[in-house]
């Protein structure tokens, strides 16, 4: 459906297009525009009213926004930026080349320029980088009726009015009051008496993940953000927290798959160079790591030559070790990410993993023994069964321990998943398998 509407937008010859744009949600329109080239999307944007146009623009991925900035006429671009929310406007300027920023900034009002510079100054992955300055603020001395009137006045420009932040003359946060509390209170009740004092807050330098966790834990609509002096400078809303969670989950998935860093934009819009750079580091590194598997096989050439049926079981055994390790690593990475498990829990988790992995290895050994008897006789079956128990146990312990080790060195535990664990387990599996074969079968 989005692609069909994209074709209508591109041709501008669909009779129902105008009515659909009037009724469609901004996210759906953005989804349709995202399938167009920037020049085609730029022709479609004027079909929308300015506020809806800004809302749609905010839902587009940053690489698409940057492309549109280059082709949208300057007057139309200025109008668009004026209607965007403060945090989305700052994100866009962070993504633009400096020469484009220099061309666009002079067309904006002084207050908007200062707001962009201030929000853009915060470090990447901090609360300041995702907060918005479009929040609702009230004085503690207002009555409930006066507060509702003030919220009605500022509502068009505020990100949300369901939570209003009570500040003193120095803009220090003294409390938070909900719209529900204001409209159900007596008209002459003071905001100071209705507010919740000492609200939960974050600071501009706090990590984005920490902010997202706070919003999720307490089911907040928004979280107030303070500067180093305790002044309220912005809020992070629940939708921005969801974006952070989604971005972190994507980054963890990329790391788990053996890629380096994060991908700017989308996979569909990524260049060949970006995809190459994202994937080449771990692939080359693991190629050299897997040389140890080849060296291990070469070391046991005499055992292999004397007992060729051993080769039949080699892929099965090392794959089992890698699979067990990947399972264990995935469980630990997720547990560490959610806070369910902490670094000091390693020893307790180790005992459980030994028991679980041992049971898994025994189950898999029983399952494979019959094939061992059929392919190579009792001796081969014994080697395969013993190896299966050991490699599953070894792979599981490697997969469980690597996330803890990486976390201890302040590295992302997600790096331990997938190819890294599998490669280590492969090397260990080869050495264990042929080592046991030499002991049991002789050379």
What's the CA gap between 413 and 415, in Å, rounded?
A: 5
User: Does one domain contain both 95 and 64?
Assistant: yes
Higher pLDDT, 86 or 438: 438
For 248-257, how does the pLDDT look when each residue is reduced to its tens digit (9 = 90+)? 777 776 666 6
Q: What is the pLDDT of residue 261?
A: 58
Q: Which residues pair with 190 in a beta bridge?
A: 143
User: Does one domain contain both 287 and 178?
Assistant: no
User: Does one domain contain both 276 and 412?
Assistant: yes
For 313-362, how does the pLDDT look when each residue is reduced to its tens digit (9 = 90+)? 888 898 898 889 888 888 888 888 777 888 788 888 888 999 999 999 99
Token pair for residue 67?
Answer: 């492309």
Token pair for residue 29?
Answer: 């329109």
User: Does one domain contain both 298 and 414?
Assistant: yes
Higher pLDDT, 322 or 226: 226
Q: Domain with 15 in it: what CATH number?
A: 1.25.60.10
Q: Across 60-64, 206-210, 345-349, which has the greatest mean pLDDT?
A: 206-210
Where is average pLDDT lowest: 6-20, 212-226, 231-245, 254-268?
A: 6-20
pLDDT tops 50 at residue 1? no
For 401-431, how does the pLDDT look when each residue is reduced to its tens digit (9 = 90+)? 888 888 887 777 776 566 778 888 888 889 9
Token pair for residue 14?
Answer: 């669909």
Q: Is 255 domain-assigned?
A: no
Q: How far is CA 35 from the centre of its chain?
A: 23
What's the CA gap between 36 and 123, in Å, rounded?
A: 32
User: Does one domain contain both 325 and 295?
Assistant: yes
Tell me the residue range of the domain where 116 lies.
Answer: 2-121
For 286-305, how does the pLDDT look when each residue is reduced to its tens digit (9 = 90+)? 777 778 888 888 888 888 88
User: Does one domain contain both 227 and 357?
Assistant: no
Q: How far is CA 315 from the centre of its chain?
A: 34
pLDDT tops 80 at residue 185? yes
pLDDT tops 90 at residue 224? yes
Q: Is 259 domain-assigned?
A: no
Token pair for residue 261?
Answer: 């860093």
Last residue of a domain, one of 96, 121, 146: 121
pLDDT tops 60 at residue 13? no
HEC readout, 272-329: HHHHHHHHHHHHHHHHHHHHHHHHHHHHCHHHHHHCCCHHHHHHHHHHHHHHHHHHHH
Q: Domain with 414 in it: what CATH number?
A: 1.10.357.20
User: How many domains, in total, are found in the chain?
Assistant: 3
User: Does one domain contain both 235 and 193?
Assistant: yes
User: Does one domain contain both 159 and 199?
Assistant: yes
Count each helix (H run) and each strand (E run) in the chain, helices first: 22, 7
User: Does one domain contain both 113 and 222?
Assistant: no
In order of 7, 232, 289, the CA distances from 427 in angstroms are: 52, 55, 8
Q: Is 405 domain-assigned?
A: yes
Q: What is the pLDDT of residue 16?
A: 53
Higher pLDDT, 336 or 152: 152
For 256-269, how does the pLDDT look when each residue is reduced to its tens digit (9 = 90+)? 665 655 666 666 66
- Rounded to the nearest integer, the mean pLDDT of the chain is 84
User: Does one domain contain both 104 and 226?
Assistant: no
Q: Is 126 domain-assigned?
A: no
Q: What is the pLDDT of residue 125?
A: 84
CA angle 239, 245, 248 (to 5 degrees): 140
Last residue of a domain, one of 121, 149, 183: 121
pLDDT tops 80 at residue 278? no
Last residue of a domain, one of 196, 231, 246: 246
Where is average pLDDT lowest: 148-162, 212-226, 333-347?
A: 333-347
User: Does one domain contain both 210 and 317?
Assistant: no
Close Cβ partners of 410 (under 8 Å, ≥ 6 residues apart): none
User: Does one domain contain both 296 and 397?
Assistant: yes
In order of 208, 271, 320, 359, 375, the CA distances from 371 in angstroms are: 52, 48, 15, 20, 6
Q: What is the pLDDT of residue 416?
A: 58
* Cα end-to-end span (Å), the chain: 66
With beta carbons less than 8 A apart as the criterion, state whether 289 and 300 touch. no
pTM for this prediction: 0.70
Q: What is the pLDDT of residue 267?
A: 67
Q: Is 6 domain-assigned?
A: yes
């Amino acid at each position: 459906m989005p692609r069909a509407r994209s074709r209508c937008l591109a041709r501008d010859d669909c009779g129902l297009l105008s009515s659909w744009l009037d009724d469609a949600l901004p996210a759906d329109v953005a989804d349709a525009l995202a399938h167009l080239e920037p020049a085609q999307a730029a022709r479609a944007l004027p079909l929308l009213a300015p506020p809806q146009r800004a809302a749609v623009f905010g839902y587009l991925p940053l690489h698409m926004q940057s492309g549109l900035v280059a082709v949208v006429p300057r007057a139309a671009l200025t109008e668009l930026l004026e209607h965007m929310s403060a945090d989305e406007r700052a994100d866009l300027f962070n993504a633009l080349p400096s020469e484009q920023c220099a061309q666009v900034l002079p067309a904006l009002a002084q207050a908007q320029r200062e707001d962009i510079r201030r929000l853009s100054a915060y470090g990447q992955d901090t609360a300041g980088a995702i907060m918005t300055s479009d929040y609702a603020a009230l004085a503690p001395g207002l009555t409930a009726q006066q507060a509702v009137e003030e919220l009605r006045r500022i509502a068009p420009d505020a990100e949300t009015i369901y939570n209003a932040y009570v500040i003193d003359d120095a803009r220090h946060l003294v409390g938070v009051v909900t719209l529900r509390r204001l409209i159900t209170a007596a008209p002459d009740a003071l905001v100071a008496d209705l507010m919740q004092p000492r609200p939960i807050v974050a600071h501009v330098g706090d990590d984005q993940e920490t902010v997202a966790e706070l919003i999720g834990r307490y089911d907040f609509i928004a979280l107030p953000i303070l500067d180093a002096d305790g002044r309220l400078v912005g809020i992070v809303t629940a939708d921005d927290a969801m974006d952070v969670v989604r971005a972190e989950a994507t980054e963890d998935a990329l790391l788990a798959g053996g890629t380096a860093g994060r991908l700017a934009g989308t996979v569909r819009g990524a260049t060949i160079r970006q995809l190459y750079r994202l994937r080449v580091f771990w692939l080359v590194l693991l190629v050299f790591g897997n040389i140890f598997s080849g060296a291990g096989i070469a070391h046991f050439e005499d055992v292999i030559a004397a007992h060729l049926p051993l080769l039949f079981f080699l892929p099965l055994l090392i794959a089992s070790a890698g699979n067990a390790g990947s399972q264990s690593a995935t469980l630990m990475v997720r547990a560490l990410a959610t806070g369910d498990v902490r670094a000091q829990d390693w020893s307790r988790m180790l005992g459980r993993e030994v028991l679980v992995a041992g049971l898994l290895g025994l189950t898999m050994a029983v399952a494979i023994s019959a094939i061992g008897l059929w392919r190579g006789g009792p001796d081969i079956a014994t080697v395969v069964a013993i190896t299966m128990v050991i490699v599953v146990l070894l792979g599981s312990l490697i997969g469980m321990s690597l996330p803890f080790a990486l976390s201890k060195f302040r590295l992302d535990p997600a790096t331990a998943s997938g190819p890294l664990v599998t490669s280590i387990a492969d090397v260990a599996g080869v050495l264990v398998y042929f080592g046991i074969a030499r002991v049991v079968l002789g050379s």
